[in-house]
Amino acid sequence: MKLLYDELSIEVSERTTKKYSTSFSLGILCIDKSIRNAIYQIYGFVRIADEIVDSFHDFDKESLLDEFEKETYQSISRKISTNPILNSFQEVVNKYKIDHKLIAAFLESMRMDLKKVTYDLSSYNTYIYGSAEVVGLMCLHVFVEGDIKEYDRLAPEAKKLGSAFQKINFLRDINADSAGLGRVYFPKLDLSIFDNAVKMEIVQEISEEFDEALLGIKKLPTKAKFGVFLAYSYYRELSNKILKMDAKDLLLNRASVSKPLKIWLLITSYIRFKFNKL
């Protein structure tokens, strides 16, 4: 029965999410059960596309991404795929009427990672939109359960949250991206002169996006609010960690949040959510 296969596909998406991201997994667990699987289905798709361009170094990444993209749209059209990740993803796309333009923008940003690009402001913003903001917008389609009016109302803040998350990832992985993958995402950033003043400017920009994003989190449906707020709290703490690190140390060590602190953030975030103190 296809029902059994669909259940397996969702399990694969969930396992993929938990394997690659403990932080997002924790946030998803704090989303209402009625929409939790849909977020796993989106994240599983995003994660595999990202792995193609980031990890499959001994293979023809461009061909793999071409095939993945073709199969993505075929699965959405056919409403089935023999690839469990894509079968899972097409189900949520069709159910919540996720705009195909968001998918196209995401895949285009993945394609940008196939080349060593010196980003200017325009290409940087294009990459941020495609790699992060649209992922937040896909999730927003689920959170509002297809209500386009609510989607349009909350979209600006959802984009800010995705952007802030991605820029924190850029800072956290700045050494691995540059040394391992030949990527420096921040426009015209010269790592040889990366200092605390430059870092502070970037963190300040991120902080402003977080402030705007929080306004949107407060407006989210209750079933999604706590999980998103928890992810926000974790990344805001990561931002604080980066702020306290010396720029030169950031180039050598990956910033992280300890497990005890994650547990503390879970507890305090729940209390703030429960008593409407976001």
Domain definitions of the chain by residue range: 2-274
Tokens representing residue 246 in the block: 């010396």
Interior/surface letters 101-130, b for 16+ CB within 10 angstroms, e for the rest: ebbebbbbbbbbbeeeeebeeeebebbbbb
Q: In whole angstroms, what is the distance from residue 63 CA to residue 82 CA?
A: 19
CA distance readout (Å), 2 to 6, 82, 84, 145: 6, 11, 12, 24
Q: How many CB atoms are located within 10 Å of the residue 44 CB?
A: 27
Q: Which residues of the chain have pLDDT under 70?
A: 179-181
| pLDDT at residue 21 in the model | 85
Q: In whole angstroms, what is the distance from residue 127 CA to residue 248 CA?
A: 26
Half-sphere exposure of 200 (CA within 13 A, CB side): 5
Q: In whole angstroms, what is the distance from residue 278 CA to residue 113 CA?
A: 36
| pLDDT at residue 51 in the model | 96
Which residues have C-beta within 8 Å of that of residue 29, sequence separation ≥ 6? 36, 227
CATH number of 2-274: 1.10.600.10
Q: Where are the alpha helices (DSSP H) in 144-246?
A: 148-172, 174-175, 181, 196-217, 222-244
Which residues have C-beta within 8 Å of that of residue 222, sequence separation ≥ 6? 32
Q: In whole angstroms, what is the distance from residue 113 CA to residue 136 CA?
A: 20
Decide: helix, strand or coil at residue 118: strand
Q: In whole angstroms, what is the distance from residue 226 CA to residue 246 CA?
A: 32
Return the sign of the alpha-carbon dihedral for residues 149, 216, 165, 38. Answer: negative
